[in-house]
Structure 1
């Protein structure tokens, strides 16, 4: 199903359904006490339908849930296309992973009904809705039958209505990193009845690490490194730098291709091999960049990795990743690779990768960031993303070379 179609349905049908459910909950709640969560909870569901990168940013939240509710089974509901990441990161047991197929309207409705019935039979103690202002996720949290429903609310802010049946809600805060807000949802599970529920939450810093890992044996990594060198002999004598130039589902997040070409040319001239990574849909862009660069050390690796696990092994075999805001920058945080990531339509202050091996590149232009939960991530720049175009390539190249040379010197000591 197209993204615009999903937004249209969520906006108009979703609002009507949220209003109806809110009225029902308000009437039936007149004769019942506010729902609370027992410390001995047995089943907690996390609804996380966003892009794959958000799964990594939610890592500290899952760690906090396991610490606070060690006897509970943590269930995850996500889009089918994103489940590979959760399995790789071992967020929970495979039998506790549930999916929605959004490839068509019929498939999505069928899966919503199926998951709702499954959760009701299971007997959930609580549900955490990690989506910011999606009505379908809010309705899902109600349809599961969980008595405790934690999620975000706009509170008194106009627009983005999603009902009033999230009974352990926290106000979405556009000034706090999303990982910190996910942790606030865990705090809200046992918060007293009343708003805003952040008042009862712990004082937290932005998580220092994603608290996630993927185990590789030294033999496995060495075998994969040998495979890369066999398939691309130029990498035997040149350290490998990875570049992700695609914008994914939001092309306005992409740094200009001509800027990337300038940086890649400089890296190749300085003795490095550059692998252009991405999905098969990014192959055309990669071929265009290869043509602009015109150097044998510029490699088209789009589609080369067959899974996220292989992508992580490729990152283990590389010295640096230069990327647009997106999944690869977050996956990199569970590997040793250094990352340089461009932000413009969105900001690293809210969605930056966790950890200490990330350099955030932003221009600071007045209209940036422009994609928010309040405008459904629809930018007003009409494709002319000056926030990224104004990040000049030469300083980026200098910064990359400085890091790579420092890395080489440290390794030789």
Structure 2
């Protein structure tokens, strides 16, 4: 009879299990282990873990009772290794068997309040097994959208109903050492299981994102801000606040290959995921979608608000999808894919718009901080370049960026040349030019025009630095003078004294935010505008060499 009942149980488990839409949460807590794991779960929640971990050669304890005989038959059919015994009968022999399986590299599983309760009271077997094997305890909890509770059973057994959405969540590993007592670790395991169970039953299916994050064992957040340099910089304060609020969360960032160096080595990030534009094809996009889906993001944050980022949001398939807008709201249908978090005012700066998302996630908003990692190799390379060009360390070092993505944002080259001459004459400063391909219009030639008009030596690094080397150089300079473009925002983020020469755009929304940057700008009737190829450039014409020189003299700090 026990064999017949075992067969019936196996059929029910497989029939119901195959219809469930099970979402895994924090599976990396055990999948990344190099050893086996001691899975621990409540007796009443065992159905979903039992189905998920079938055919994985997991050893599981089964009592010596008649019910245990039926359960052992089901276990064998589901690919488990039953070890007979329980806390009330045959415990010592069963524990020895479980530990032997652990030492062979297998995982084990315990219904830690079984076989007969009391409800949610930990028996010591799982903790003892973790102690003797050196493998961690992994708390496990599960729930389904629709399930039947057997309220008269001591364990309040939960049977998921067919075709339900379901979730299985794993807590962070709990290690037991010789210095720990079984009682102390049992309390820790019980606390972890209760919190995890509260999450799976109250939050995993709900829409309250703050509660979801607060109770999640290790939430996974995916930031999507693929480009450009300035936009990536503007997103960093929000990243900083999110990391402070959720120090144990996994945070990834999708970025294109141009801007990836800005994020590499960032201690606020667990992973930088590079979207390589040069490799885009149908096959690449499909593979990239699979890559993002495997990240199992709980929350995606679209800081870009355009079709490209919306596509990446769709690829990620996160449980919650939120976003902020740059300056003109979420555009190009991106609002269809993510919930837009509105800023305080329509004129809010991009940084403030992104911080509104952090605030929505329950973060405390601090003064803007820009986490940018130092790269020692890049710093060494910059030192070599400066030394090779005979830069006198006793004199001020000024870097100038005469380019910018829009030609309408560029101050005249002859005025830069005059400014350089005056700075060299008044302070003896060493001047270096930087630039490359910032935006869609090449900056090539601007440096040559300026150098040709200056009689004193100028170190021209245009097109010669990587992004990491540019950052390293900016950490060295005493002053940075630039049009509005990515390098200016990097200097602001680094807290470098800087002079921003601004024209058509609105600094309240996209200008330098924080730092030690002084803005020089004249108001004209047509501002702000997005005419990238403006020929009159009235706003830039009004900016004189004298006022930039005066601001530079005031800002320049001697070494």
Q: Greater CA radius of gyration, 1 or 2?
A: 2
The structure 2 residue matched to 1:168, chosen from 339, 342, 357, is 339
Structure-2 residue corresponding to 1:101: 276
Structure showing the higher helix proportion among its residues: 1
| Deviation at residue 246 of structure 1 after TM alignment | 0.9
| Deviation at residue 121 of structure 1 after TM alignment | 3.1
Aligned counterparts of 2:229 and 2:282: Cα–Cα separation in 1: 22
The structure 2 residue matched to 1:241, chosen from 398, 402, 425, is 398
Structure-2 residue corresponding to 1:293: 454
Distance 1:153 1:189, change over 3 A: same
**What is the SS of the residue equivalent to 1:355?**
coil
Structure-2 residue corresponding to 1:261: 417
- Residues 270-328 of structure 1: CA deviation (Å, up to 9, x unaligned): 222211111275452111101112222x22121343x3332233223321110111121
The structure 1 residue matched to 2:290, chosen from 117, 132, 141, is 117
4+ runs of 1 displaced by more than 6 Å? none
TM-score, length-normalised on structure 1?
A: 0.73
The structure 1 residue matched to 2:407, chosen from 251, 254, 263, is 251
| Deviation at residue 81 of structure 1 after TM alignment | 1.8
Which stretch of structure 1 is more off in the superposition, 208-217 or 323-332? Answer: 208-217
Distance 1:229 1:159, change over 3 A: closer
The structure 2 residue matched to 1:84, chosen from 241, 258, 261, is 261
**What is the SS of the residue equivalent to 1:150?**
strand
1:183 lines up with 2:355 in the alignment: yes
Aligned counterparts of 1:152 and 1:315: Cα–Cα separation in 2: 29
Distance 1:274 1:168, change over 3 A: same
| Deviation at residue 48 of structure 1 after TM alignment | 0.2
Structure-2 residue corresponding to 1:332: 491
Aligned counterparts of 2:371 and 2:325: Cα–Cα separation in 1: 28
Distance 1:300 1:178, change over 3 A: same
Aligned counterparts of 2:262 and 2:447: Cα–Cα separation in 1: 24
| Deviation at residue 241 of structure 1 after TM alignment | 0.9
Structure number with the bigger relative contact order (C-alpha 8 A, sep ≥ 6) is 1
The structure 2 residue matched to 1:149, chosen from 302, 316, 321, is 321
Aligned counterparts of 2:391 and 2:338: Cα–Cα separation in 1: 58
Root mean square deviation of aligned Cα: 3.1
Aligned counterparts of 1:332 and 1:237: Cα–Cα separation in 2: 22
| Deviation at residue 238 of structure 1 after TM alignment | 3.6
The structure 2 residue matched to 1:62, chosen from 228, 239, 244, is 239
| Deviation at residue 51 of structure 1 after TM alignment | 0.8
- Residues 243-278 of structure 1: CA deviation (Å, up to 9, x unaligned): 00011x322221121221121111122222211111
**What is the SS of the residue equivalent to 2:264?**
helix
Contact in 2 for aligned 1:208/1:356 (Cα 8 Å): no
- Residues 181-214 of structure 1: CA deviation (Å, up to 9, x unaligned): 1111233457xxxxxxxxxx98x6xx64434143
Structure-1 residue corresponding to 2:524: 365
Aligned counterparts of 1:254 and 1:108: Cα–Cα separation in 2: 35
Structure-1 residue corresponding to 2:544: 392
1:127 lines up with 2:300 in the alignment: yes
Structure-1 residue corresponding to 2:160: none
Contact in 1 for aligned 2:483/2:502 (Cα 8 Å): yes
Contact in 2 for aligned 1:262/1:293 (Cα 8 Å): yes
Distance 1:64 1:262, change over 3 A: same
Number of aligned residue pairs: give it.
Answer: 343
Aligned counterparts of 2:336 and 2:409: Cα–Cα separation in 1: 34
1:277 lines up with 2:467 in the alignment: no
Distance 1:401 1:90, change over 3 A: same
| Deviation at residue 236 of structure 1 after TM alignment | 5.0
The structure 2 residue matched to 1:355, chosen from 508, 514, 519, is 514
Contact in 1 for aligned 2:324/2:342 (Cα 8 Å): yes
TM-score, length-normalised on structure 2?
A: 0.55
| Deviation at residue 391 of structure 1 after TM alignment | 1.0
Aligned counterparts of 2:382 and 2:325: Cα–Cα separation in 1: 47
- Residues 331-361 of structure 1: CA deviation (Å, up to 9, x unaligned): 2235453111122222221223333311112
| Deviation at residue 117 of structure 1 after TM alignment | 1.9
| Deviation at residue 65 of structure 1 after TM alignment | 1.7
Distance 1:161 1:241, change over 3 A: closer
Unaligned runs of 5+ in 1: 1-32, 191-200, 372-378
- Residues 164-197 of structure 1: CA deviation (Å, up to 9, x unaligned): 534532246540011111111233457xxxxxxx
Contact in 1 for aligned 2:229/2:486 (Cα 8 Å): yes
Contact in 1 for aligned 2:224/2:254 (Cα 8 Å): yes
Contact in 1 for aligned 2:303/2:325 (Cα 8 Å): no
Contact in 1 for aligned 2:324/2:354 (Cα 8 Å): no
Structure-2 residue corresponding to 1:212: 371
Structure-2 residue corresponding to 1:316: 475
Structure-2 residue corresponding to 1:21: none
